[in-house]
Amino acid sequence: MRHRAGNLVTRDLPASRRWRARAMMAGLSVPVLSACQGVQSALSPGGRDAAEILDLGVALFLGAAIIFVGVMALTVWAVVARPDRFPGARAWVIGGGAVFPIVVLSVLQVYEFALARGLVTPSGERPLRIDMRGLMWWWEVRYPGEEPYSGAPFATANELVIPVGRPVEVVVTTADVIHSVWVPGLAGKQDMIPGHVNRLTLRADRPGIYRGQCAEFCGAQHALMAFYVVAEPPDRFERWLERQRSPAPAPENALLAGGRSAFLRYGCGACHTVRGTPAAGTVGPDLTHVGGRLSLAAGTLPNTAGAFADWITASQHLKPENGMPSFDVMDGDTARAIALWLESLE
């Protein structure tokens, strides 16, 4: 199953928003996503958690705005009114300076605690567990294969595929520094702290693609540490799971077979796993079904053979200091064959 512009990306979007999805795929994400609507916005919630956080935000903003206007009005009144015509000055100081803030902040505190408690408690159903580990600068994603979707565990990268309508518990850890997982359209932030295990619960109530971003400065390429959450109807999600559990597809022609041989010959398997081949490295992302993902290098490039070839030969130019060396000694035909083979791994 391929999550690409042309099917899932644009399938559930109204026409007016399709150009955004396509622009995102073309790597033009930054200016587009700064808009209030869209794939990475806390203002267009795709599930209960994000909707409740939005409600809290709106309540805080409106409350603060009302109080601000009230305080400014009183200030003007106090300045223009003569002190002898300003009644109950002492009562204003005690009431407005102490009683009012204590009451308002206490009410807000109770509201926020209740809401936060609901956010960390998955609703009734057993959640789907996904393990997510931050690394400089990508995300390792593991499906441990527990109930209710028991089966062989597998790893993927920079993408969480989840079933619509079911709670998901993301167990977050880090391999190096502090990162923070944030998918504004689905949930609040959760930090990845060295030596600590944190949990993030979320649920998507409508299918679609939600973009996430590392929300804690974690080094030179922090800005290029994005990921996607793809919420699928349950039947499509189960088909995706089945596909991910299977080994990489066999090369369909001599060109792709040549790409696979070159991948192994250049030692790519020392860092990457491609199940179904001798490549079993665990330093970099699992590439078994990399061709079916939305992006390359944690949202840095679109998932195309051209981008694969660019990444293989110039990764240090595209994302300096990332863990993969640039294979700039590789000839063009070899890079192209490897790129086409990787792109075919859906």
CB under 8 Å to 72, separation ≥6 — which residues? none
170 binds ligand CUA (CB under 6 A): no
Q: Work out how close the CB of 266 gets to ligand CUA at its nearest, in angstroms, rounded to a whole number.
A: 28
Considering only the stretches 56-64, 195-203, 210-218, 256-264, report the one whose residues sit in contact with ligand CUA under the rule CB under 6 A.
Answer: 210-218
What minimum distance in Å lies between the beta carbon of 283 and ligand CUA?
17
**Token match 């002898």: residue?**
84
End-to-end CA distance of the chain: 6
What CA–CA distance (Å, rounded) separates 298 from 225?
5
Residue among 225 and 256 whose Cβ is closer to ligand CUA = 225
- Residues between 128 and 147 with contacts to ligand CUA, criterion CB under 6 A: 134, 137
Among the candidate windows 68-76, 103-111, 151-159, 213-221, which touches ligand CUA by CB under 6 A? 213-221
Q: For the CB of residue 122, give the shortest distance to ligand CUA in the complex, in Å.
A: 25
Considering only the stretches 45-53, 83-91, 217-225, 285-293, report the one whose residues sit in contact with ligand CUA under the rule CB under 6 A. 217-225
User: Which segments of the chain are extended strands (E)?
Assistant: 128-135, 138-143, 154-157, 159-163, 168-174, 179-182, 190-192, 198-202, 208-214, 226-232, 295-296, 301-302
217 binds ligand CUA (CB under 6 A): yes
- Give how many residues touch ligand CUA by CB under 6 A: 9
Sheet holding 208-214, edge to edge: 159-163, 226-232, 208-214, 179-182, 190-192
Q: How far apart are CA 297 and CA 199, in angstroms?
A: 24
- Tokens 């958690």 correspond to what residue? 49
Which stretch in 13-21, 163-171, 214-222, 281-289 sits in contact with ligand CUA by CB under 6 A?
214-222
CB of 326 to ligand CUA, least distance (A): 22
**C-alpha radius of gyration, the chain, whole number:** 25
**Closer residue to ligand CUA, CB minimum distance, 137 or 228:** 137
Neighbours of 20 (CB within 10 A): 20
Q: Does 218 participate in binding ligand CUA (rule CB under 6 A)? A: yes
Q: Which residues lie below 8 Å from residue 329, measured CB to CB, with a gap of 6+?
A: none
Asked whether position 4 contacts ligand CUA by CB under 6 A, the answer is: no
Q: For ligand CUA, which residue of 24, 161, 204, 214 counts as binding (CB under 6 A)?
A: 214
Q: Nearest distance from residue 198's CB to ligand CUA, in Å? A: 14
Which one, 181 or 268, has the nearer CB to ligand CUA? 181
Other beta carbons within 10 angstroms of residue 327's beta carbon come to 18
Residues binding ligand CUA (CB under 6 A): 134, 137, 179, 214, 216-218, 222, 225
